[in-house]
Amino acid sequence: MILLEMNLYSQSLGKKTEAVILLPAHSSHDKPVKTLWFLHGMGDDHTGCLRNSLLEAEAEKYGVAVVFPNADLSFYNDMAYGCDYAAWISKELPDILSRLLPLSKNPKDNYIAGISMGAYGAFLTALTNSEKYHTAVSLSGPMRIDWIYQILTDRDIAGTAGLEDDGKKREACRLYSEKNRIPELLVTELCKMSGERTIRAFEAMFGIRPALRSSPRDLFFLAEKILEKKQELALMAFCGEQDYHYESNLLFRDFAARSGLKYSLTTGSGAHVWDYWNRYIPVMMEKLFGSP
């Protein structure tokens, strides 16, 4: 595989940014290659998936290109107070790379996937631009963005992170979960990430107290729009049973079953860790590209 590291100015972001591309050595403009756009998680950058995953070996096996764009801490949105990362990922970067590299422009040859925050970004991008992708894949993605925002901008929950008594922490998370009907494991894990800096970051991403349910940032809402338009887009998800996003993945599975959405969820033992993702990345690649 050819590894390309790019540093370029983005009009959408108003600044320089980065991307890493894996390209099959045999690539040529006479025969454009299939492309997997792979989105990183929260707290990571575009190099994390390349360094920690099996994707390079898998891409070489199937002869496909993989693009790892940097999206900082954006949840792949056009931010309320910040840069237009949705435009960067879905429009500007693909336009630039299609001019420079032998990447296929055919929607049937373009796939988008991600881990955690990047999994939400993959579904968000594909559901918003369904004419551009064949399949979107979520690896341990949060299906209820309103839950994530609510927990990570709640100053009461943020205050429990500083408690020295673990019992009091657990009780505070249990009560919050019960009151707000949000899975306790999700509250407990996100509590560890909460604080004033996180609150500011999420308000910059989504705005202050936004109505996220039934909005263009709600995956359920966007999926309903796809169904109304009768647009063809396959959605695939993987999530471990010990993952704090597991419950929201079950909700999306049930919604998809009721609505007739083209969707599959693979579960199994596993948490929100690279060991789980690397176990299922080869499965994902075979489902996307067939036998090598």
Reading phi first (left if > 0) and then psi (alpha if -120 to 50, else beta), residue 239 is in beta
pLDDT the model gives residue 231: 78
Structural contact between residues 27 and 33, judged by C-beta atoms closer than 8 angstroms? yes
Pick the CATH number of 2-144+214-289 from 1.20.120.1150, 3.40.50.300, 3.30.70.260, 3.40.50.1820: 3.40.50.1820
Over residues 54-100, the pLDDT tens digits come to 999 999 999 999 999 999 999 999 999 999 999 999 999 999 999 99
In three-state secondary structure terms, 232 is coil
Count of other CB atoms within 10 angstroms of residue 214 = 11
pLDDT the model gives residue 161: 63
Question: Which has more confidence, 291 or 6?
Answer: 6
In three-state secondary structure terms, 31 is strand
DSSP letters, 119-147, are HHHHHHHHHHSGGG-SEEEEES--S-HHH
pLDDT the model gives residue 221: 97
How large is the average pLDDT for residues 101-116? 97
- Asked whether residue 163 carries a pLDDT value surpassing 70, the answer given is no
Considering the chain, tell me which residue range(s) the CATH 3.40.50.1820 domain(s) occupy: 2-144+214-289
